[in-house]
Amino acid sequence: MKRALALALLALPQIAPAQGPTVADRIQRSIDLREQWQWLTRDIATPPTWDEDGRHFHYRKTVEGGYAFVDVARDGGDKRPAFDAGVVARALAALTGKPVDPLRLPFEAFDYADGRGAIVAQIDDDTVRCTLVQTVCTVVPPEHPSRPRGFGVVRDLRVPAENHPRPSPDGRLEALVLDDNLVVRVAGGGREAWRSQDGSPADFYDPETIAWAPDGRRVIAYRVRPGYARMVTRVVAAPPGKVQPEVVQQLYPKPGDAVDQERPVLFAVADGRRIAIADTLFPNPYYLSEATWRKDGKSVAFDYLRRGFGEARTIAVDADTGAAHVAVGEDPATFVFRDRIFGHDVGGLGREIVWASERDGWRHLYLVDATTGRIKRQITKGEWIVRDIAKVDDEKRQIWFSAGGYVPGEDPYYKQWFRVDFDGRNLVRLTKENATHELRFSPDMSRYVDVYSRTDLPETTELHDARDGRLIATLEKGDITRLTAAGFRPPERFTAKGRDGRTDIYGVVVRPRDFDPAKRYPVIENIYAGPHDSFVPKAFWPFGGFSGGDKVMGMQQLADLGFVVVQIDGMGTANRSKAFHDVAWKHMEDMGFPDRIAWMKALAAKDPAVDLSRVGIYGGSAGGQNTLNALLFHPDFYKAGIAYAGCFDNRMDKIDWNEQWLGWPVDQSYLNASGVVHAGKLQGKLMLVVGEQDSNVDPASTMQVVDALIRADKTFDLLVIPNGEHSAGRTTGPVPYAMRRHYDFFLRALRGEGVADWNAR
């Protein structure tokens, strides 16, 4: 009986057990998600560009299948297409030889030219001009191409300087450099009036620094003693369409290298008499800005940044005597943040300067007596910071600026906008919504367009009256209905205390779309802790680069594979107090790790689904260095990491970024943060990715880490991308190879999954 029943059951049709998607299928689904979601929003606009006459402005917004450019009259009442996108797309295709989709034109912004008869846009490295009548697109060559400088501090002497004659204000004379000397002659190549006698190839006058006084009585130029021309040599192992490798060289100054030494030299035009300028007040320049004459021609000024980034000054020089004085200066105990130096010469006469300073611990505005260098008054004050300075109105004695942290209880990284008088009175808040705001003012400051959003609030675009912030018109209101229906959920904002138990640390959490609070999920940190900015997204638009940065789409793609993905701004990043930022100074190995680890522990305490026994980390460039350092210095917390194009040893990286945060001369602080020096401490699983032709971070930096790891007998993965640039592996590209490797690595390392044999597929 039992045997008969068994035979009968075998005779029944067999039903295969239900099977879900394979790991490879899940990875492909994550890769495809960006393209599926990117075109599902409507009416999300970018900040606009105003015409020079202030009568119109234009912007790009999302539409069905891509983007459209919109032109708007200054009162907001007349909206129309900025140009015929189909015609422009065909003209660009004729120029490039490649098809161009009119809904996905290869630029995000443009300027009108020729009375709105043409548009000019930047496409990759080219400036492109397209006429709008009988549309034709052409590449615009630079009118006067300047000599390149390696990271702004060492001139590339292989390239001739731009040496066209600079005419005097009245047009009768012209100045240029001949045989390394400054020459003044009659305009049009006429009779030579005089020339300097002390120029030589080793100490030459630079024609690109020539500046005439407004009254034509004086002329100034910089004499230059060249720095060290360090060349980074790279081998193009597989040049496209060729068989044999090629060699390329790049001028690439590194920390500690000698930079060009510039000294301003002042001459009386009438007879060529040299007016001596003592360099006592600017003895060790990292750089000098171009010389700027005061409107009355009585003095000339330039900005000085001391080598090591410890001091910044504006130096003013008397045109008759050459006597120099400090018009304003900054001399902190740690560093001057070069990217945020701001000075405005009120009226262009050298009497007052509006100056941004962190001297009270927060970035604020000051009014300075430029004849003595003394502070006349502090214009803004409080435990908040000034961010952007949009306009200083000398006649009305008003300043328009954005600020972070002004509103109690609001995310301090959100930008709110204000107007204030020079005396600090009449502080008017223009923006109100609890969101981050980007404003673009009309040339006459009578109107502004406000684009505001949060990570959970799509962009709204409004036109306002700049006098009082009154709303004139709502231009666009972002619609994410279809995106939400497709499963998009904004990242969760989360705040926890940092290492000191007092300071708020801000971050975001991205969970899988099928998140189950009853399960346990490994955590992956998307890291970029460069001290030059903050990086946790604050605005809505989620579609950007694969590595995340201020975007969330790449984090969602990774989260959907079964991870909780986070991004956090720890101490040492910018846009908070001076003390918050100073944590990075000479401590690049710190980079906010104690704060971010405390933040993740607080998240896990709140959410049992967060599994801190399986934590990964990934990032590129400075984020690549952060990733490696996580596994070197915090292996008890981080178990796996993918480091893209890391500046693993700051002695190997570009001069400006590294001397900004580690100072000069090169000292022990460089070694303390070095992944090469500390490679033997590696624990956990590591994958290194580098582009062979990285022109931002010397790719040898990665190979030196590889060498040190091998010598320390460490196991790791290495992916070198031939012809790859700095972003290699962090963008999907036509073949998302590195992305598949990225996903597979974390699935193996943190979930024990992964594809057994990719080559068998």
667 and 735 together in one domain: yes
Domain boundary among 253, 280, 304: 304
Domain membership of residue 593 (yes or no) is: yes
Give the C-alpha separation, 147 to 159, whole Å.
6
Where do we find the tokens 């304003």?
A: 328
620 and 673 together in one domain: yes
pLDDT in tens, 209-263: 999 999 999 999 999 999 999 999 999 999 999 999 999 999 999 999 999 999 9
What token pair was written down for 236?
């193009």
Kindly give, in sequence order, each residue whose CB lies less than 8 Å from that of residue 618, ignoring residues fewer than 6 positions away. Answer: 524, 525, 526, 527, 547, 627, 641, 642, 643, 644, 742, 746
Confidence of residue 733 (pLDDT cuts 50, 70, 90): low
Q: How many Cα neighbours within 13 Å face the side chain of 109? A: 9
pLDDT cut 90: percent of the chain above it: 92
What pLDDT does residue 734 have? 57
* Contact call for residues 706 and 648 (beta carbons, < 8 A): no
133 and 274 together in one domain: no
What token pair was written down for 370?
């430029």
Give the C-alpha separation, 273 to 322, whole Å.
12
Domain boundary among 94, 117, 139: 139
Indicate the helix (H) or strand (E) that contains 482. helix 481-485
Is a pLDDT exceeding 90 seen at residue 541? no
pLDDT in tens, 56-96: 999 999 999 999 999 999 999 889 999 999 999 999 999 99
Domain boundary among 85, 117, 139: 139
What pLDDT does residue 544 have? 61
Kindly give, in sequence order, each residue whose CB lies less than 8 Å from that of residue 702, ignoring residues fewer than 6 positions away. Answer: 645, 646, 648, 688, 690
Of residues 751, 522, 729, the one with CA closest to residue 643 = 729
Q: Residue 81 to residues 92, 123, 472: CA-CA distances in angstroms?
A: 18, 20, 21
* Contact call for residues 531 and 589 (beta carbons, < 8 A): no
* Contact call for residues 315 and 325 (beta carbons, < 8 A): yes
Confidence of residue 756 (pLDDT cuts 50, 70, 90): confident
What pLDDT does residue 16 have? 41
- Residue 735 or 7, more confident: 735
What pLDDT does residue 551 have? 67
Where do we find the tokens 């009120």?
A: 346
What pLDDT does residue 312 have? 98
Mean pLDDT of the region 428-450: 97
* Contact call for residues 585 and 721 (beta carbons, < 8 A): no
* Contact call for residues 327 and 282 (beta carbons, < 8 A): no
Longest dimension (CA), the chain: 125
522 and 664 together in one domain: yes
What pLDDT does residue 17 have? 44
DSSP per position, 553-609? HHHHHHHTTT-EEEEEE-BTBSSS-HHHHHTTTT-TTTTTHHHHHHHHHHHHHH-TT
| Mean pLDDT rounded to a whole number for the chain | 95
Where do we find the tokens 């930047």?
A: 122
Domain membership of residue 354 (yes or no) is: no
User: Quick count: other Cβ atoms within 10 Å of Cβ 147?
Assistant: 16
Counted domains in the chain = 3
Is a pLDDT exceeding 70 seen at residue 291? yes
Is a pLDDT exceeding 90 seen at residue 20? no
What pLDDT does residue 232 have? 98
pLDDT cut 70: percent of the chain above it: 96
Mean pLDDT of the region 537-547: 73
154 and 135 together in one domain: no
pLDDT in tens, 139-154: 999 888 899 999 999 9
Mean pLDDT of the region 680-704: 98
Is a pLDDT exceeding 50 seen at residue 12? no
Range of the domain at 100: 49-139
Is a pLDDT exceeding 50 seen at residue 727? yes
Do the strands 192-195 and 261-268 form a parallel or antiparallel pair, or are they unpaired? unpaired
Give the C-alpha separation, 698 to 653, whole Å.
6
Mean pLDDT of the region 562-571: 98
114 and 195 together in one domain: no
Domain membership of residue 36 (yes or no) is: no
Is a pLDDT exceeding 60 seen at residue 362? yes
What pLDDT does residue 8 have? 44
What token pair was written down for 603?
């998240």
Is a pLDDT exceeding 90 seen at residue 542? no
User: Quick count: other Cβ atoms within 10 Å of Cβ 592?
Assistant: 24
Packed helices 737-746 and 23-37: angle between N→C axes, nearest 10 degrees: 130
Is a pLDDT exceeding 70 seen at residue 529? yes
Confidence of residue 183 (pLDDT cuts 50, 70, 90): very high
What pLDDT does residue 142 have? 85
Is a pLDDT exceeding 50 seen at residue 699? yes
153 and 132 together in one domain: no
- Residue 289 or 10, more confident: 289
pLDDT in tens, 486-515: 999 999 999 999 999 999 999 999 999 999
What pLDDT does residue 683 have? 98
Backbone angles phi, psi at 190, to 5 degrees: -80, -155
617 and 659 together in one domain: yes
Confidence of residue 2 (pLDDT cuts 50, 70, 90): very low
170 and 101 together in one domain: no
100 and 154 together in one domain: no
Give the C-alpha separation, 756 to 403, whole Å.
52
Is a pLDDT exceeding 60 seen at residue 346? yes
pLDDT in tens, 614-669: 999 999 999 999 999 999 999 999 999 999 999 999 999 999 999 999 999 999 99
Is a pLDDT exceeding 70 seen at residue 550? no
| Angle value at C-alpha 72, between 66 and 74, nearest 5 degrees | 150
What pLDDT does residue 552 have? 83
193 and 69 together in one domain: no
Kindly give, in sequence order, each residue whose CB lies less than 8 Å from that of residue 115, ignoring residues fewer than 6 positions away. Answer: none
Q: What is the CATH number of the domain that holds 158?
A: 2.140.10.30
Alpha helix stretches (DSSP H) within 249-343: none
Is a pLDDT exceeding 90 seen at residue 135? yes
Domain membership of residue 376 (yes or no) is: no
Confidence of residue 104 (pLDDT cuts 50, 70, 90): very high
Mean pLDDT of the region 378-385: 98
122 and 220 together in one domain: no
What token pair was written down for 597?
């680890």
